[in-house]
Amino acid sequence: MVPLINGADRMLRWFIEDVWGQFDDDHTRPGAPLFPSERKNTDGSARRVGDDALRNGLDNAVEAHLPSWTDKLTPHVQRHFCASQLYGNGLDLLAIQEVLGHSWIATTMRYIHVQQTRVEDAWVAGMERAAKRLEGLAR
Please answer whether residues 96 and 87 qualify as being in contact, where contact means their C-beta atoms are separated by less than 8 angstroms.
yes
pLDDT tier at 63, thresholds 50, 70, 90: very high
Neighbours of 97 (CB within 10 A): 19
Is 71 a residue whose pLDDT tops 80? yes
Q: Among the ranges 38-42, 106-110, 112-116, which has the highest mean pLDDT value?
A: 106-110
Mean pLDDT of 107-132: 81
- With the CA atoms of 113, 119, 121 and 125 taken in that order, what torsion angle do they form, in degrees rounded to the nearest 10? 120
| 3-state class (DSSP) for residue 4 | coil
Dmax over CA atoms of the chain, in Å, equals 79
pLDDT of residue 116: 65
User: In the predicted model, is pLDDT for residue 10 greater than 70?
Assistant: yes
Backbone Cα Rg of the chain: 22
Cα(33)–Cα(48) distance, integer angstroms: 5
CA 77/CA 86 separation, integer angstroms: 14
Mean pLDDT of 23-33: 72
Cβ neighbours of residue 19 closer than 8 Å, sequence gap 6 or more: none
